[in-house]
């Protein structure tokens, strides 16, 4: 049996039924033994009960219902009752998920989960209709085209948010204590460029938006190009994992491995002892030991937390930002013939120090809340050079138009990112002075 594991933040829908976590190959497994508390006869009795109720609904419900819908809904109900990340994927949803993990899918561009019967936004995906409309992590979607979300399963809500490209959908949002408000979004083909990069003077910046099949290669290419461009002046890298909901497990491992010379990256433990797996780094650091700062926040989930936890525990990076989402489980995708697949939580994952971050999240080394940077207005400042008769500095150089610090400030409005660059410059300067 073919199976792939997900370590994703949540159910991404296509809008995003995106990978929810980490994916790896998995062998077929024998079914677990029937619990001693029940026994085979009890199981058959309960199955007969299901069959009896199925026939009653099929024959007496006020409207005719297709058998397929009843069965699929029953299966999905069984799985979603286990935890928020287990679910049934019909054939269409399964095909969508396979497309999404390759980095392209159709929808609104938001990663979502279900909380208290409502659809909760984990994070909008960069440069998508949801991101451009201003949707934010922790927003709740309470209505879709005027229809209440309460009472729908996550999969049903996702299906309603899908539709033809360029078609519109009105989404009612509840944000904090504000009154609910409507946002109209036009569906689009979502192409995820999972790695974005740029060089800020002598420091590299890489943002990973999700972990797809192209993430590791995209990261290595980006770092190589920036190092070639900066030459010997290259001082280090800021890795931005904010609002990254997760993705493929093997890509999270590969990204962690890119910065580590040795040591454990992550381990997973399932129901049976022989299900345990441990993943270790191979020699080779794309930065050759240069400083690394990783930014996380409440939208950093699953595969993002694997990377952050590995680099933190192995003391390879300084984590800055706010506490991560806290999804510490692994989902396995198991195809069911040509009927679709089930997404089943099969393991928990642990950081190298043995931490389970399930429902806890990862705390950054330096807590920096997001804030808005404003330049305060000050009166004229008198300096020594302004005093009458001040001594001349024989070593004075011609005034330069702007300081290097001002020129290299990354996106002045992004307070967390600005602090990350400041931190990395400080670490790099300290290393340089002590070598």
**DSSP string covering 317-333, please?**
-EEEES------EEEEE
Residue among 126, 207, 205 nearest 408 (CA) = 205
Both tokens of residue 329? 């489980």
Q: State the burial class of residue 54 (Cβ atoms within 10 Å of its Cβ: 0-12, 13-18, 19+).
A: middle
Distance CA 409, CA 406 (A): 5
> Which of 194, 302, 324, 329 does the annotation list as catalytic?
302
Radius of gyration of the chain, Cα coordinates, nearest whole angstrom: 25
> Which of 5, 120, 235, 327 does the annotation list as catalytic?
327
Q: CATH topology for 1-28+42-57+68-106+193-385+405-435?
A: 2-enoyl-CoA Hydratase; Chain A, domain 1 (3.90.226)
pTM: 0.73
φ, ψ for residue 38, nearest 5 deg: -110, -70
| DSSP conformational letter for 365 | S
pLDDT tens digit string along 7-60?
643 333 333 333 334 444 333 344 444 454 568 899 999 999 999 999 999 999
pLDDT tens digit string along 254-313?
999 999 999 999 999 999 988 899 999 999 999 999 999 999 999 999 999 999 999 999
Active-site residue flag, 302: yes
pLDDT tens digit string along 119-128?
999 888 878 8
Averaged confidence pLDDT in the chain: 86
Q: How high is the pLDDT of residue 110?
A: 86
Active-site residue flag, 83: no
Active-site residue flag, 313: yes
- The dihedral built from the CA positions of residue 208, 159, 329 and 3, taken in this order, carries a sign that is negative
> Which of 194, 313, 329, 414 does the annotation list as catalytic?
313
Domain parsing of the chain, residue ranges = 1-28+42-57+68-106+193-385+405-435
């Amino acid at each position: 049996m073919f199976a792939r594991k997900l370590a994703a933040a949540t159910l991404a829908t296509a809008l995003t039924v995106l990978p929810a976590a980490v994916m790896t190959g998995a062998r077929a497994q024998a079914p677990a033994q029937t619990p001693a508390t029940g026994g085979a006869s009890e199981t058959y009795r309960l199955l007969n009960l299901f069959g009896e109720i199925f026939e009653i609904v099929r024959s007496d419900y006020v409207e005719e219902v297709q058998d397929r819908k009843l069965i699929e809904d029953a299966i999905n109900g069984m799985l979603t009752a286990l935890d928020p990340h287990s679910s049934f994927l019909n054939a269409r949803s399964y095909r969508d998920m396979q497309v999404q993990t390759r980095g392209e899918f159709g929808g609104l561009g938001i990663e979502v989960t279900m909380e208290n019967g409502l659809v909760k936004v984990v994070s909008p995906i960069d440069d998508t209709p949801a991101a451009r409309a201003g949707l934010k992590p922790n927003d709740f979607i309470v209505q879709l085209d005027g229809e209440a979300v309460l009472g729908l399963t996550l999969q049903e809500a996702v299906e309603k948010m899908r539709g033809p490209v360029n078609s519109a959908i009105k989404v009612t949002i509840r944000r904090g204590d504000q009154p609910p408000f409507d946002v109209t979004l036009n569906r689009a083909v979502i192409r995820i460029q999972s790695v974005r990069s740029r060089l800020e003077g002598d420091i590299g910046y890489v943002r990973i938006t999700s972990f797809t099949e192209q993430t590791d290669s995209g990261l290595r290419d980006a770092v190589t190009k920036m190092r070639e461009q900066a030459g010997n002046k290259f001082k280090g890298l800021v890795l931005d994992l904010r609002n990254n909901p997760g993705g493929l497990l093997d890509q999270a491992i590969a990204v962690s491995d890119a910065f580590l010379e040795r040591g454990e990256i992550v381990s997973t433990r399932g129901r049976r002892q022989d299900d345990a797996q441990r993943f270790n780094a191979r020699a080779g650091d794309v930065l050759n030991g240069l400083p690394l700062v990783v930014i996380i926040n409440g939208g950093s989930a699953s595969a993002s937390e694997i990377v952050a936890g590995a680099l933190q525990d192995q003391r390879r990076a300084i984590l800055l930002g706010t506490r991560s989402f806290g999804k510490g489980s692994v989902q396995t995708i198991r195809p069911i013939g040509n009927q679709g697949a089930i997404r089943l939580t099969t393991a928990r994952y642990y950081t190298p120090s043995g931490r389970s971050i399930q429902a806890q999240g990862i705390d950054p080394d330096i807590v920096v809340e997001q804030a808005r940077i404003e330049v305060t207005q000050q009166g004229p400042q008198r300096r020594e050079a302004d005093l009458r008769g001040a001594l001349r500095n024989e070593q004075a150089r011609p005034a330069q138009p702007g300081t290097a610090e001002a020129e290299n400030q990354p996106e002045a409005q992004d307070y967390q990112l600005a602090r990350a660059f400041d931190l990395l410059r400080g670490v790099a300067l300290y290393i340089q002075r002590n070598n």
